[in-house]
Amino acid sequence: MRLFVALEISGTVATTILDLISRLRATAARLAPQSRITWVTAERLHITIRFIGHVEESKADAVRTMLSEPLGERFDLTIAGVGTFPRTGGPRVIWAGLTAGRPRLMALETLVNDRLAVAGVPPEERPFNPHLTLARVRDAAGLRSPALVGPLNDLALGTTPVDAITLFESRLSPKGPTYVALQRTALRAGPST
């Protein structure tokens, strides 16, 4: 099983983000008609907290168990600004930024990693750089990051409540991955909730 832990995006914020993706798709097609870009669809819209990767069924069971109890407190996360990796030249990833609530997200990632370590999942080698992926660029074909996202650096996309994490299985196929929610774990109500 290929697993990851993520936050789901739904409601009006998801609609706003999908509208943005449509606009970016049209702009990319105009700027670089030969570019090959895989745009995120509604059913794949999420913020990855931790990619676990391929695990045996027994380890998947241990992960489910360790993530079954509530962890962390609920909070709001603001999605704003659009950027790319890398920032200049041809983009490989197009993303939306996370602003207000980002420190709480970083703390949640630490809690998730602590529980995954108990389940025998080794720590991530790269530092956590939270963002909302909008697209992956397979061939930029002349598309340049500043022309695509420059005017959108400060674009406000909305605030979403974070009240649960979801353990997903990513099932790969020639048509792309399908994300299957295996388990949702609630976050605890905070003092102001």
Which residue out of 6, 24, 32, 46 is catalytically annotated? Answer: 46
Residue 7 sits at the vertex; the CA angle it makes with 5 and 9, to the nearest 5 degrees, is: 145
pLDDT at position 155 over 80: yes
In whole angstroms, give the CA distance from residue 88 to residue 85. Answer: 8
Mean residue pLDDT of the chain comes to 94
CB 190 within 8 A of CB 73: yes
Tally of CB atoms within 10 A around 29: 13
Block residue for tokens 């650096």:
153
- In this prediction, residue 76 carries a pLDDT of 96
pLDDT in tens, 18-42: 999 999 999 999 999 999 999 999 9
pLDDT at position 174 over 90: no
- In this prediction, residue 82 carries a pLDDT of 97
pLDDT band at 10 (very low <50, low <70, confident <90, very high): confident
- In this prediction, residue 176 carries a pLDDT of 82
54 is catalytic: no
- In this prediction, residue 178 carries a pLDDT of 93
Which residue out of 25, 64, 74, 131 is catalytically annotated? Answer: 131
Q: What pTM was computed for the model?
A: 0.93
| Structure tokens, 20 | 């943005």
The domain made up of 2-186 has a fold known as Cyclic Phosphodiesterase; Chain: A, (3.90.1140)
Report, as an integer, the average pLDDT of 133-143.
96
Number of H helices, E strands in the chain: 4, 9
Tally of CB atoms within 10 A around 162: 21
